[in-house]
Amino acid sequence: MRVVSKIDEVRSIIEDAKKNNLLIGFVPTMGFLHKGHLSLVAESKKHTQFQVMSIFVNKIQFNNMNDYNTYPRDLENDFDLAEKNGVDLIFLPDDDEMYGNHLTTVHLDRLTDNLCGACRPGHFDGVFTVVSKLFNIIQPHVAVFGQKDIQQAVSIQKMVYDLNFPVKIIMGPIIREDSGLAMSSRNKHLSREKREDALVIYKGLKRAEQLLLNGERDSKIIINEIEKIILKGRPDKIDYISAVRFSDLSFLDTIGEKAVIAVAAFFGDTRLIDNMVIEYERGRIKCVF
Ligand code: AMP
């Protein structure tokens, strides 16, 4: 596995891989790797033969500088995990390499109006800008994003379509702790007590699944039930509990098409997000966590 920090170097390594007829898979991350990230590499390996991972804590997507400054970092462990999981190349740029003198921002309308887009001003502009740059630098055939950040995955699919990036986007499932807590680098900040409290998010989503399987379709009723359960964990703040269409992430009053129920809540200073996708299999509802 090679670790490089310069754009020219990445380009030349990837050019060589392409000359050898290898398809390039790409997993962008902010590091502090866990099984969620590694599952995306495993997914990428099903489709491609040369795995690139970026590790870059992208300052411009943070709307809270304390969150940026305290974002967990452990490069030695990241390199170890990446190598053991078949990553061929890590791109590890610094701020200057990515943004020295930069004046361009990539913005996407509508799909970022709700959910995290509404609560974190500027966040998605930062995400789309960095992902566009990374796509242009790496020029992968396939890029894999997690369902965990569903608004990001759905919006990037749209950005790729709108801007004609020649890359196939794949969404990988949410990897969870045995307890049900969605894995996240930020979980490191949770005290033992808050980690326990935060399980109400998964419990709330499971309750929503139960209601849906019993025939409930009214978003308001489902959201109220989730809220009741989440409040039992004494969250410090609930940013949102929302039901939206999968297609464009607009709010949905009645669940009658492919949809997402998404949650964002603070436990202590740690903001956690989670969701489930509601699909239909032979006319029957199926919730994908
Ligand atoms: P991050 O390093 O948090 O920016 O995440 C990098 C990628 O990993 C994004 O596509 C995330 O959606 C994905 N990811 C984060 N947590 C998980 C998880 N628990 N399961 C699957 N993918 C995840």
CATH label of the domain that carries residue 47: 3.40.50.620
Same domain, 7 and 70: yes
Alpha-carbon distances, residue 29 vs 53, 219, 227, 267 (angstroms): 7, 33, 30, 23
Give the residue numbers spanning the domain of 252: 185-282
Same domain, 34 and 68: yes
Q: Which residues pair with 267 in a beta bridge?
A: 270
d(CA 186, CA 68): 11
In a domain, 289, yes or no: no
Say if CB 48 and CB 73 are below 8 A apart. Answer: no
In a domain, 136, yes or no: yes
Expressed in angstroms and rounded, the spacing between residue 161 Cα and the centre of ligand 1 is 22
Tokens representing 122 are: 């500027």
In a domain, 179, yes or no: no
In a domain, 145, yes or no: yes
Q: Annotated catalytic sites, by residue?
A: 37
Same domain, 64 and 17: yes
The whole-number pLDDT of residue 283 equals: 86
| Structural domain ending residue among the three candidates 148, 172, 196 | 172
In a domain, 180, yes or no: no
| Structural domain ending residue among the three candidates 122, 151, 172 | 172
Count of domains observed in the chain: 2
Task: Count CA atoms within 13 Å of residue 79 on its CB side.
Answer: 8
In a domain, 178, yes or no: no
Expressed in angstroms and rounded, the spacing between residue 28 Cα and the centre of ligand 1 is 9
d(CA 65, CA 107): 21
In this structure, what are the phi and psi dihedrals at residue 139, rounded to the nearest 5 degrees?
50, 55
Domain at 275, CATH number = 3.30.1300.10
Alpha-carbon distances, residue 170 vs 115, 220, 281 (angstroms): 21, 31, 20
The whole-number pLDDT of residue 231 equals: 98
Assessment of whether the complete model's pTM goes beyond 0.95: yes
- Ranges under pLDDT 50 in the chain: none
Same domain, 141 and 222: no
Q: Does the beta carbon of 58 sit less than 6 angstroms from any atom of ligand 1?
A: no
Same domain, 131 and 192: no
Q: Is 191 left (phi over 0), alpha (psi -120 to 50) or beta?
A: beta
Mutation pick for ligand 1 pocket among 148, 159, 289 (CB with most ligand atoms within 8 Å)? 148
- Cα 248–chain centre separation: 17
Q: Is 263 exposed, middle or buried (0-12, 13-18, 19+ CB in 10 A)?
A: buried
Q: Does the beta carbon of 30 sit less than 6 angstroms from any atom of ligand 1?
A: yes
The whole-number pLDDT of residue 224 equals: 98
